[in-house]
Chain A
Amino acid sequence: MPLAESSDQAAVRIDPLRHTFKVSRRSFVDPQILRDEYKNIFEKCWLYLGHESELNKPGDFVNRVIAKRGILFTRDAQNTFNAFFNVCPHRGAQVCRERKGNAKSFQCFYHGWVFGSDGKLKSQPGQDSYPADFNCDGAANLVPVPRLDSYRGFWFICFDRSVQSLSDYLAGAKEWIDIVADQSEAGMTLVGGTQEYQIRANWKLLTENSIDGYHAINTHATYIDYLKNSQGSMSAVPFDGTGYDLGNGHAVIEYRAPWGRPVAQWIPLWGEEGKAELDRVYQRLVERFGEQRAHRIAYFNRNMFIFPNLVLNDIMAITVRTYYPTAPDAMQVFGWALAPKEESAWARKFRLSNFLEFLGPGGFATPDDVEALEQCQRGYENMREAPWNDISKGMTKARVNYDDELQMRAFWTQWQACTQATAGA
Chain B
Amino acid sequence: MSAIAEVTRDQVEDFMFFEAELLDEWRLKDWLKLFTDDACYYVPTTDSAPDASPDVDLFYVADDRFRLEQRVERLLKRTAHAEFPRSKTRHLVSNVRIRERRDDELIVGAAVLTYRTKAGLTETYIGSYRYRLALLADGLRIREKRCMLDMDGLKPNGRISIIL
Contact = CB atoms under 8 A, between A and B. Distances in A.
Interface in A181-199: 191-199
Nearest to A373: B158
Q: What's the dominant secondary structure at chain B's contact region?
A: loop
B62 A371 contact: no
Contacts of A348: 55-56
B67 interface: yes
A207 B58 CA distance: 22
A370 B82 contact: yes
Interface size bracket, A side: 35 or more
Contact of B74 (A99, A353, A364): A364
Contact of A198 (B43, B59, B119, B156): B156
Given A219-B81, A352-B62, A355-B58, A367 B159 contact: yes
Interface size bracket, B side: 35 or more
Interface string B10-52: 0000000000000000000000000000000001111110001
B160 A194 contact: no
B79 interface: yes
A368 interface: yes
Contacts of A200: 121, 156, 158
A280 B95 CA distance: 50
B81 A352 contact: no
Interface string B137-164: 0000000000000001111111111000
B157 A198 contact: yes
A131 B83 CA distance: 65
Contacts of A364: 70-71, 74
B58 A362 contact: no
A221 B157 CA distance: 23
A132 interface: no
B74 A222 contact: yes
A208 interface: no
Interface in A351-378: 352-353, 355-357, 360-362, 364, 366-368, 370-372, 374, 378
Given A336-B58, A370-B82, A196 B158 contact: no
Contacts of B54: 349, 352-353, 356
B74 to A, nearest CB: 4
Contacts of A337: 58
Interface of B: 43-48, 52, 54-62, 66-67, 70-71, 73-74, 77, 79-83, 119, 121, 152-161
Q: Sorted from nearest, which 5 A-B pairs have the closest CB atoms?
A: A196-B153, A193-B58, A362-B60, A367-B82, A362-B61
Given A197-B158, A349-B55, 17 more contacts: A192-B57, A195-B60, A200-B156, A200-B158, A222-B80, A226-B73, A230-B66, A336-B58, A352-B55, A352-B57, A352-B62, A356-B61, A361-B160, A362-B59, A362-B60, A367-B83, A368-B82
